[in-house]
Amino acid sequence: MIPYVDCHTHQFYEPSDSVISMRNCIVSTDYFQNQLCSVGIHPWYIDQDYENQLSTLRKYAAKENVLAIGECGLDKLSSAPWEKQAKAFQDQIDLANALSKPLILHTVRAYQETVEQLQNQKLISRVVFHGFNKHAQLGYSLVEKGYFLNLGADMLKGNLTELIHDIPLTSLFLETDDKNISIQEIYTYFCAVRKINVETLKQQLYTNFCTVFKYSK
Ligand SMILES: [Zn+2]
């Protein structure tokens, strides 16, 4: 049986054969656990003692159950100074590259700056924009650069219809994030709009997950 993949969540799931979930662990806020996860310094939670926070992240990031670095990135609504955010983002890009693990990005009102910072360097890590809920053209331009989009509950508001119709399934992930919704509902909604069956989508997103996050059962 091909499992559903919840590619970014803040919820605890009981381990099961039917859903793979990658829990997000925010350094200084969440307890680190031995389940599949991503670990990162979120732009809302950059500590006063950032160097200590970064060394904590480095300690956990190399562990085998950590499949990705993040969520991290730039957020114009965060109270953290911009230079600090850019430095934390850069340190996490470097860490992802060094460990050859993908990046899960949190981006708020800063897509242009984020892409500039990413393109400023030789990046070998795959990049996943989580919680993408912007207009389709921006989505396509990110996909064209080789980035992945992780879509979640915002799609149920009906404003991602164009993107859902046209995004290449090979560039897609789905997530529950911090929303009170099941990953099955997200898949069902996506398939109804895209007019494909759920098994097709499950197969493709599982393949994407195995490829991008080097996951194997
Ligand atoms: Zn999140």
Look at residue 83 and tell me if it is in a domain: yes
- CATH value at residue 76: 3.20.20.140
Look at residue 152 and tell me if it is in a domain: yes
Look at residue 96 and tell me if it is in a domain: yes
Cα-to-centroid distance, 104 and ligand 1 (Å): 9
Look at residue 34 and tell me if it is in a domain: yes
Evaluated on CA atoms 85, 143, 71, 215, the torsion sign reads negative
For residue 32, what are the domain limits? 4-212
Closest CA to 53 of 91, 104, 93, 11: 91
pLDDT in tens, the chain (217 residues): 899 999 999 988 787 889 999 999 999 889 888 899 999 999 999 988 999 999 999 999 999 999 999 999 999 999 999 999 999 999 999 999 999 999 999 999 999 999 999 999 888 899 999 999 999 999 999 999 999 999 999 999 999 999 999 999 999 999 999 999 999 999 999 999 999 999 999 999 999 999 999 998 7
Look at residue 201 and tell me if it is in a domain: yes
178-184 contacts at long range (C-beta below 8 A, 24 or more positions apart): 178/9, 178/10, 178/11, 179/152, 179/153, 181/153, 181/156, 183/4, 183/5, 183/6, 183/9, 183/19, 183/21, 184/4
Query: What pLDDT, on the 0 to 100 scale, is given for residue 43?
Result: 96
Cα-to-centroid distance, 178 and ligand 1 (Å): 6
List CB-based neighbours of ion ligand 1 within 5 Å. Answer: 177
Cα-to-centroid distance, 177 and ligand 1 (Å): 5
Query: What pLDDT, on the 0 to 100 scale, is given for residue 15?
Result: 77
Strand 148-151 and strand 66-72: the pairing is: unpaired
Query: What pLDDT, on the 0 to 100 scale, is given for residue 186?
Result: 98
Closest CA to 19 of 127, 150, 131, 175: 175
Cα-to-centroid distance, 207 and ligand 1 (Å): 22
Look at residue 108 and tell me if it is in a domain: yes
Domains identified in the chain, total number: 1
Look at residue 71 and tell me if it is in a domain: yes
Cα-to-centroid distance, 133 and ligand 1 (Å): 13
Binding site: which residues? 71, 106, 130, 177
Look at residue 217 and tell me if it is in a domain: no
Query: What pLDDT, on the 0 to 100 scale, is given for residue 12?
Result: 80
Distance CA 154, CA 208 (A): 21
Binding site for a divalent metal cation: which residues? 71, 106, 130, 177
